[in-house]
Structure 1
Amino acid sequence: MKAVSLRRYLLLGILGPVVALIAVNGIGLYGTALRALNTAYDRTLLASAKEIGEQLDVEGYDRDARLRATVPYAALDTYESDNATKMFYRVSSLHGELVSGFGDLPFWRGEIPARPPYAALVDFYDDRFRGADVRVAVLLQPVASQRGLGMAVVQVAETLELRRAAARRILFDTLWRQALLVAVIALVVVFVVQRATRPVRGLSAQLRDRPEGDLTPIEAAGAPRELAPLVDATNAVMARLDQLLEHQKRFVRDAAHQLRTPLAVLKAQVQSAQRGDVPPAEAMAEIHATVDRATLLANQMLSLAKVEQLRQQSSAEVHDFADVVRSVAVDVSPLVAERDLDFELDAQPAPVRAHEWMLAELARNLLHNAVRHGPRGGRLAVRLVADGRWCALTVSDEGPGISAALRERLFQPFATADVRSGSGLGLAICREIVAALGGSIELTNRESGGHVAGLDATARLPLAQ
């Protein structure tokens, strides 16, 4: 579906209910106007009926009373407001016998209300007469004379053209004012939306006109407070993108730089083997060692890139770090056996919310470093303890330790104490992992009798709550 503009959304959201309310109000207004006009014009009908009743005569009493009427139709002309309105009357006895007027006007068969609207025995009702809608007033008029006493039923009917025309005028006079109000509301909405969205258009233009690759924060000091969360979120996303792009650039730069050396060495070794400078077995051994170093370097660089990728993901499950450490220890056991190390493992349960690969990579790199730098036949201890909030994985070897100057530099990519023993990425990967998980890592020389007895590598991670 095509996105609806804010201006159209507000116009539909505001004017839709307003127009619907005006329509309902118009229907109610028309009915109210008709009722008010009926009340006003019913007085005219009642006055007509009374005037006719005053011109009646009677002879006899009760059932023997005979009514006479001398009512010319011109007597109703004063009550006809225009040529379109017609009035009709009928004078009858209580039994429906026609005395005067229009004989085809249906005789009244209703009842006088218990509380008539006027001080008279009168009833009003709607009917049809000669194909037109009419309003009828019925008056029970006592008639008295020197010769008799009786009761007459006087009916006066009026067509409804005048009433309906007046109601329509009232309705139209109200509707055009309300239409003008709707137009004013629409103009105000358009104006307000235009003014309110000006900062948004300004931000859009600022982003559109930026040079390619510019991820600096958006300057929106004059933006409304409602736009502040959007600006802050956009700046946060741009900061993460900038960090990710910088990491990718650094990765590509480091990969090109670090892989160039082993590939050049490999090429030289292959050329030397082709010329026969060294025996074939020795040449193959050198090539094999160079390929192993290049493979290790490539795998560690991919691991370093994967840490940054997983850092951007927020969905991670809880894993027992102790189970991960035991699994890694089983994988590393051939290396431990090859160097004849006295291996010791003590791991307490430690639930950590992290990707399982990150925990395994952290433990694997620490163990590989300890196996590589520890003396053959020495002692290698792995301890994992938890104190309720943090867990600490400590890998202890009996190597020569490290100097204070080298301690911090070893966590930088491609920094190593011996270029022949590694690529210098293992501890850098560990640092990136613990930083992504909100922990810390440190290297500490273990002393005994005033001499360095080995190195302790400790990684601290927060426990899952």
Structure 2
Amino acid sequence: MTMATGSAPVRKRLGSLRGQLLRWLLIPLGILVAIDAVSVYRNALEAADVAYDRSLLASTRALAERVAIVNGKVVADVPYVALDSFETDTLGRIYYKVTGINGDFVSGYDDLPPLPPDIRRSEAYPALVYFYHARYRGEPVRIAALYQPVYDNSMRGIALIQVGESHDARRDLSRQILFATLWRQAALVLAAALLAWFAVRFVLRPLMRLKADVEARSPTDLADFDASMVHKEVRPLVAAMNGYMARLQSLIAGQRRFIADASHQLRTPLTVLKTQAELALRENDPQAMRAIVESIAHTTDATVHLANRLLTLARAGHGAAEADMVEVSLTDIARQAGLELAAQAVKRNIDLSLDATAEIMVRGTPWMLHEMAINLIDNAIRYTPVDGQVILRVFNDGQPILEVEDSGPGIPETERERVFSPFYRAPSAQELNSGGSGLGLAIVRDLAAMHHATVCLSSAGNSGPGLKITVRFPVDNA
């Protein structure tokens, strides 16, 4: 079993445009909303911490006001009613500790975590207060440590009042802030999604109308689409579609023209062949029958020549793909075409020669250039009298040039443009060769145009009969 190699890569099928637009709109929006929600939540927690720290400081100050010096000792008068009011205000458990002037325990919870040495004083309040986090009795607490001056007539100093608060109230508030933030942001995302869906649906409505217009078209309707019915960004696509349909119309028109021309041009020789065949069947004289058969052979040759010209014209009508064009020797093309038609020239005793001193390169499709050379030489041989001369020239005068010159009757200047029309033949050509098809120069013109070359007809010399056909290729083709 063999495996194919060099196959084209499989392209991933694109999904819905509406879906892609919504994803590109909503996913970044969702990320931005999530970032904003985190930012809002953190700011709200910071504001809550500030508020709870202020409340904690107020409790600490209230407790500090009950610290005094009695009989030379620091005492704290803290009734349970005051502690109950603290817990009611903060909605959490309250722990406190009062330390005397000399660092001795005065009142409260003696195992409350001490003030860490590396904690900086809070700059938000004028008091000597420090805030820090610690763990106490297996739960996190926030502690405010306030240095309070105490004195009487006998002594003075600074006592340390510490009040700790559990995180219950802060956790409740943080959950409330979080849920409120998430609800608001979710509602915002939902509203944005609905607006984006309606906006995308509205914006894509012209494309949907264009789609419906395309689907409603009959196979033979190749009229242009109205580019004004879509947005400015989509108009190049509509213009490309219109251009493609114009090329398709041209191709179909060419095919129809070819069918009409072929049926018209082939009908006559085929009718003549049938008539000649019927005459041959009725003829008993061998000499007369031979003459009829020779006539049939001549008609068949003319019909084959016409059919080949028609097929070449049809093939040329499909154009030359840029990918099929290669660097090719115009000299070799002319030499090969001349060799193929040398027998035809010898049969009429025509001197067929090639004048080429160098290899002239052009970029083109080899079979098309060959057909162009064949048609030029064949035309020249057909319309050159016996014992005449046909010269092929390949040279470069700044541009690559293929030239065919004959010693035939030539074409008057008034007829030189018309002879490029299919099936048109100049009167002088009809007199010399009544069996021509009138397609040779039309084929030459079409093939030259596909290579961006120009075809020019002129007299063979300064005076006298003869025709010179010059095919001039562009410089960038060389």
Which TM-score band applies after superposition, normalised by the shorter structure?
A: 0.7 to 0.9
Deviation digits for residues 280-328 of structure 1 (CA, Å, limit 9, x no counterpart): 8667655544443333333222211221223465763444433432333
2:373 partner amino acid: A
Distance 1:220 1:133, change over 3 A: same
- Alpha-carbon distance in 2 for matches of 1:338, 1:81: 127
Among 166, 171, 189, which residue is 2:173 paired with? Answer: 166
What's the secondary structure of 1:157's corresponding residue? strand
Deviation digits for residues 199-258 of structure 1 (CA, Å, limit 9, x no counterpart): 323333333333331112223445443333222222111110000011111222223333
**More deviation, 194-203/207-216:** 194-203
**More deviation, 290-299/243-252:** 290-299
Residue 111 of structure 1 contacts residue 123 of structure 1 at CA under 8 Å; is this kept in 2? no
- Alpha-carbon distance in 1 for matches of 2:29, 2:163: 43
Distance 1:48 1:115, change over 3 A: closer
- Alpha-carbon distance in 2 for matches of 1:409, 1:220: 38
Residue 445 of structure 1 contacts residue 454 of structure 1 at CA under 8 Å; is this kept in 2? yes
- 1:369-380 equivalent positions in 2, closer than 5 A: 369-380=379-390
What's the secondary structure of 1:80's corresponding residue? helix
Among 393, 402, 405, which residue is 1:396 paired with? Answer: 405
1:457 paired with 2:475, answer: no
2:200 partner amino acid: V
Residue 122 of structure 2 contacts residue 129 of structure 2 at CA under 8 Å; is this kept in 1? no
Q: Counterpart of 1:298? A: 307
2:306 partner amino acid: L
Deviation digits for residues 330-354 of structure 1 (CA, Å, limit 9, x no counterpart): 3333333443333343346654443
1:32 paired with 2:43, answer: yes
Residue 45 of structure 1 contacts residue 137 of structure 1 at CA under 8 Å; is this kept in 2? yes
Distance 1:115 1:45, change over 3 A: closer
What's the secondary structure of 1:204's corresponding residue? helix
Among 260, 268, 285, which residue is 1:253 paired with? Answer: 260
Q: Counterpart of 1:381? A: 391
1:360 partner amino acid: H
Among 66, 78, 82, which residue is 1:71 paired with? Answer: 78
- Alpha-carbon distance in 2 for matches of 1:256, 1:119: 110
- Alpha-carbon distance in 2 for matches of 1:370, 1:129: 114
1:443 paired with 2:457, answer: yes
Following TM superposition, by how much is the alpha carbon of 1:19 offset from its aligned partner in structure 2, in angstroms? 1.8
- 1:129-208 equivalent positions in 2, closer than 5 A: 129-146=136-153, 148-149=155-156, 151-208=158-215
Q: Counterpart of 2:33? A: 22
- Alpha-carbon distance in 2 for matches of 1:305, 1:93: 114
1:345 paired with 2:354, answer: yes
Residue 393 of structure 1 contacts residue 460 of structure 1 at CA under 8 Å; is this kept in 2? yes
- 1:268-347 equivalent positions in 2, closer than 5 A: 268=275, 277=284, 279=286, 285-286=294-295, 288-311=297-320, 313=322, 316-347=325-356
What's the secondary structure of 1:155's corresponding residue? strand
Q: Counterpart of 1:243? A: 250
- Alpha-carbon distance in 1 for matches of 2:282, 2:58: 135
1:127 paired with 2:138, answer: no
Residue 98 of structure 2 contacts residue 108 of structure 2 at CA under 8 Å; is this kept in 1? yes
1:234 paired with 2:246, answer: no
Residue 227 of structure 2 contacts residue 239 of structure 2 at CA under 8 Å; is this kept in 1? no
- Alpha-carbon distance in 1 for matches of 2:90, 2:101: 32
- Alpha-carbon distance in 2 for matches of 1:195, 1:51: 65
Q: Counterpart of 1:424? A: 438
- Alpha-carbon distance in 1 for matches of 2:93, 2:76: 21
Residue 7 of structure 1 contacts residue 193 of structure 1 at CA under 8 Å; is this kept in 2? yes
Distance 1:443 1:341, change over 3 A: same
Distance 1:29 1:448, change over 3 A: closer
What's the secondary structure of 1:133's corresponding residue? strand
Residue 353 of structure 2 contacts residue 390 of structure 2 at CA under 8 Å; is this kept in 1? yes
Report the aligned-residue RMSD: 3.4
- Alpha-carbon distance in 1 for matches of 2:64, 2:90: 25
Q: Counterpart of 1:354? A: 364
Residue 350 of structure 1 contacts residue 463 of structure 1 at CA under 8 Å; is this kept in 2? no
What TM-score does the superposition give when structure 1 sets the normalisation length? 0.84
Deviation digits for residues 8-37 of structure 1 (CA, Å, limit 9, x no counterpart): 333222222222111112112212221222
Residue 29 of structure 1 contacts residue 171 of structure 1 at CA under 8 Å; is this kept in 2? no
Aligned length: 458
Q: Counterpart of 1:51? A: 62
1:339 partner amino acid: R
Following TM superposition, by how much is the alpha carbon of 1:380 offset from its aligned partner in structure 2, in angstroms? 1.5
What TM-score does the superposition give when structure 2 sets the normalisation length? 0.82
Following TM superposition, by how much is the alpha carbon of 1:366 offset from its aligned partner in structure 2, in angstroms? 0.4
User: Percent identical across equivalent pairs?
Assistant: 40
- Alpha-carbon distance in 1 for matches of 2:395, 2:363: 16
Residue 90 of structure 1 contacts residue 156 of structure 1 at CA under 8 Å; is this kept in 2? yes
Deviation digits for residues 125-146 of structure 1 (CA, Å, limit 9, x no counterpart): 2233344332111223344345
